[in-house]
Chain A
Amino acid sequence: MEAPVFHTITLAQSGETFPCGEEDESVLAAMRRANAGPIKYGCFGGGCGVCRMRVVSGSYHSFKPMSRAHVTREDQSNGIVLLCCIRPTSDLTLAPAGVQDARKLET
């Protein structure tokens, strides 16, 4: 059996890192497992927008659709993602995409 491929996810603001597998549930799930980062909860379904961040560097695979209420086409081309919908295909660096409070997210 091939060993799972892990990548290192770095949070640009805090410098925290955590591992996330290519076959992992999602970057958000890996972040929660590591108890890293600012995001403490979310729908994990691409709907609520709480895990909205920007990928500064690295490549990823979007394995499920993200709500357009939170990631517009323009956002998408600027690396904005919902972490519950992506898996890494290389090391990633993440930065805040704006306000994390869902009450303040613009739609």
Chain B
Amino acid sequence: MALNQTLRPGLIQLRVLDLDKTLDFYKNVLGLDEVARTSDGRVCLKTYDEFDHHSVTLRLADEPGLDFVAFKVDSEETLDRMATETEAFGYPVEEIPANADQPGFGRRIRFKISTGHTFELYATVALAEKHPGLKNPDIWNEAPRGMGVIRLDHFLLYGPNIAEAERFCTEVLKMYVPEVCNLPDGSRLATWITGNNKPHDLAFVEYPKPGKIHHVGFLLQDWNHVGQAADLIAINRLKKDIGPTRHAITRGQTIYFWEPSGNRIEVYAGGYTASPDNPQRAWDSDHLGRGLFYYEGEMIPSFLEIVT
């Protein structure tokens, strides 16, 4: 993997309206394992195939949406350097001590970017109690439940001034941009950004209101598992948004739906192998619908209009 200091998005904290009902979805439909509960009632979860302590934290609140996303970087030295460079970029940095509010996590830095989203960075996190095997390992230890998602993969964020957010990700986080979508005047409508060989670790769409999340993406094994996810959406009376279909952008095979608190989830498989030396792919905004929904060949209005 072409890893360049920022390893991956490793933690996301989401607000939910109904903790019990939504937690049941994350555990039994998406297939995450509950790892810990905090003293203030938040619930920490991870996939069966992740090594780190947890990757998803749910917090009961009176509106759903995103509290923050956190990226794992490759060393404490990188974390220090990025803290300095983030301040120099113009975003004030707050330091959160180890084990303060996310069990198992080392110190984190926190700041807000141009789009109104709170980002965090960390380098150190405990190995999960239940992690994939290390010595002559089987493919799993306990059979994956439900959709059996493999990892927290990426998220799509909506907010203003994504051009600056993209520049922050490349200049400070040392990520790169495999794919973009531009308006006729040349300005960014959307951008797909990664720090490794995945086609995206995160994406942005330009949007007037700050701090919104379109979806959280989890990885599935293959197209058959996208079909199984569709079955589980139907069986569990969840509201499907789009798919199963294919993205031309990222090439992922995908389905979108809403969890019980109204946060949109994507589960997807495939996608191309990105590399920082490949040329950037560019979409004109009037082709974005086909780029996103390749089989439908046109934009699906809910994609641009519904966020939490």
A64 touches B305 (CB 8 A): no
Contact (A41, B241) CB under 8 Å given A48-B306, A50-B306, A102-B305:
yes
Query: Closest chain A residue to B308 by CB distance?
Result: A47
Chain B 262-295 interface 0/1 with A at a Cβ cutoff of 8 Å (1 = within): 1110000000000000000000000000000000
A47 touches B263 (CB 8 A): yes
Select B62's contact among A41, A65, A101, beta carbons within 8 Å: A65
Contact (A46, B261) CB under 8 Å given A41-B301, A41-B302:
yes
A43 touches B209 (CB 8 A): no
Chain B contacts of A43 at CB under 8 A? 239, 258, 262-264, 306, 308
Query: Closest chain A residue to B61 by CB distance?
Result: A68
B64 touches A67 (CB 8 A): yes
B289 smallest CB distance to A (angstroms): 15
B307 touches A48 (CB 8 A): yes
A25 to B62, CA, bound (A): 22
Query: Closest chain B residue to A44 by CB distance?
Result: B239
Total A-B pairs in contact (CB under 8 Å)? 77
Chain B contacts of A66 at CB under 8 A? 17
User: What band does the interface of chain B fall in when counting residues whose beta carbon is under 8 Å from A?
Assistant: 20 to 34
Chain A contacts of B305 at CB under 8 A? 50, 101-103
Select A69's contact among B65, B207, B259, beta carbons within 8 Å: B65
B207 touches A103 (CB 8 A): yes
For residue A58, CB closer than 8 A to chain B, the reply is no
A67 to B259, CA, bound (A): 14
Chain B 85-118 interface 0/1 with A at a Cβ cutoff of 8 Å (1 = within): 0000000000000000000000000000000000
B16 smallest CB distance to A (angstroms): 9
A28 smallest CB distance to B (angstroms): 10
Chain B contacts of A47 at CB under 8 A? 17, 63-65, 258, 261-263, 308
Select A67's contact among B208, B260, B301, B308, beta carbons within 8 Å: B308
B270 smallest CB distance to A (angstroms): 26
For residue A42, CB closer than 8 A to chain B, the reply is yes
For residue A33, CB closer than 8 A to chain B, the reply is no
Select B308's contact among A40, A48, A64, A65, beta carbons within 8 Å: A48
B258 touches A67 (CB 8 A): no
Query: Closest chain B residue to A66 by CB distance?
Result: B17
B307 touches A46 (CB 8 A): no
A66 smallest CB distance to B (angstroms): 8
A102 touches B306 (CB 8 A): yes
For residue B34, CB closer than 8 A to chain A, the reply is no
A65 to B306, CA, bound (A): 18
For residue A107, CB closer than 8 A to chain B, the reply is yes
For residue B67, CB closer than 8 A to chain A, the reply is no
A65 touches B18 (CB 8 A): yes
Q: List which A10-52 residues lie within 8 A (CB) of chain B.
A: 25, 40-48, 50
B interface with A by C-beta (< 8 Å): 17-18, 21, 62-65, 207-209, 237, 239, 241, 258-264, 301-302, 304-308
A interface with B by C-beta (< 8 Å): 25, 40-48, 50, 64-70, 101-103, 107
Known: A43-B308, A50-B305. 13 other contacts (CB 8 A): A41-B301, A41-B302, A42-B302, A43-B239, A45-B64, A46-B261, A47-B63, A47-B261, A48-B307, A67-B62, A67-B308, A102-B305, A102-B306
Q: When A and B form their complex, which 7 residue pairs have the shortest distance between CB atoms, in order from nearest?
A: A47-B262, A45-B262, A43-B262, A44-B239, A69-B63, A43-B258, A68-B62
Q: What are 19 of the A-B contact pairs (CB < 8 Å)?
A: A25-B237, A42-B239, A42-B302, A43-B258, A43-B263, A45-B17, A45-B64, A45-B260, A45-B262, A45-B263, A46-B17, A46-B64, A47-B263, A64-B17, A65-B17, A65-B18, A65-B62, A67-B62, A67-B262
